[in-house]
């Protein structure tokens, strides 16, 4: 009886190891891990990857087609993005009519000395005065101590003979009257602001001089405002 037990004790581990090698089963103190052969028998292996993958050696044309399709899609996306960017930038550019209003040319040949013309630029009135030699001398001699908004006459003109200012009172935006006021320049009747022939505020509630717009002379008888 004891001999039979010893024989069973010796043979049992050997039989168990043989069973494990035959069925490729591993037990690691937890759930059982089945062999590939057992999984195939149980029908639990997904063959999708094996069946659908492209063999790069046996089917090189399919790989080339895949690369071609990917490259084509990327090119299409890049082209579409480029068109969107171009349209966005174009929408931010000024239109032709806006550019036309940005600057304006005016003839000065028919403006007599000592007179003022009023032109329109960007919907605003612009005073252009052809000053006399006496007016130029008088404005150049004004002391800055007498001015609220201190600017010399030279700083406000490109050519002493011509004064170019916006015709908008700096108090509340009214249009001053020309050749009027205590200084023979402009006078705003709304609240009594007086400007001299250099467009500088000399009396009244306006805080600043008449604004000088950007301009340049194209020749002796033509000016470009804007």
Instruction: List Cα–Cα distances, 78 to 39, 65, 83, 90, 128, in angstroms.
Output: 47, 20, 9, 18, 54
Q: How far is CA 213 from the centre of its chain?
A: 26
Dihedral of alpha carbons 17, 21, 24, 26, sign? positive
Dihedral of alpha carbons 151, 155, 161, 166, sign? negative
Query: How far is Cα 225 from Cα 213, in angstroms, rounded to an integer?
Result: 7
Phi, psi of 140 (to 5 degrees): -70, -25
- Which residue in 40, 130, 146, 191 is the catalytic one? 191
Residue 6 tokens, joined? 């010893």
Q: What is the CA radius of gyration of the chain?
A: 47
Instruction: List Cα–Cα distances, 31 to 35, 44, 181, 182, in angstroms.
Output: 13, 17, 106, 108
SS3 87: helix
Note if 47 is an active site residue. no
Query: How far is Cα 45 from Cα 35, in angstroms, rounded to an integer?
Result: 11
Residues with catalytic annotation? Answer: 191
């Amino acid at each position: 009886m004891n001999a039979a037990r010893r024989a069973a004790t010796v043979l049992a581990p050997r039989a168990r190891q043989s069973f494990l090698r035959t069925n490729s089963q591993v037990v690691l103190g937890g759930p059982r891990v089945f062999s590939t052969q057992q999984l195939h028998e149980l029908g639990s292996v997904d063959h999708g990857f094996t069946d659908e993958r492209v063999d790069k050696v046996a089917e090189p044309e399919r790989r080339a087609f895949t690369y071609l399709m990917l490259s084509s899609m990327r090119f299409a996306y890049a082209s579409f993005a480029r068109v969107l960017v171009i349209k966005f930038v174009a929408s931010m550019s000024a239109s032709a009519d806006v550019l036309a209003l940005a600057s304006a040319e005016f003839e000065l040949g028919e403006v007599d000395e000592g007179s003022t013309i009023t032109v329109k630029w960007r919907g605003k009135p612009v005073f252009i005065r052809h000053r006399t030699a006496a007016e130029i001398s008088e404005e150049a001699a004004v002391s800055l101590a007498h001015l609220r908004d201190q600017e010399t006459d030279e700083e406000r003109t490109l050519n002493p003979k011509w004064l170019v200012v916006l015709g908008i009172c700096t108090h509340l935006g009214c249009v001053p009257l020309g050749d009027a006021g205590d200084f023979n320049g402009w006078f705003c009747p709304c609240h009594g602001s007086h400007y001299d022939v250099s467009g500088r505020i000399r009396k009244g509630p306006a805080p600043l001089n008449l604004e000088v717009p950007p301009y340049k002379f194209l020749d002796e008888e033509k000016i470009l405002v804007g």
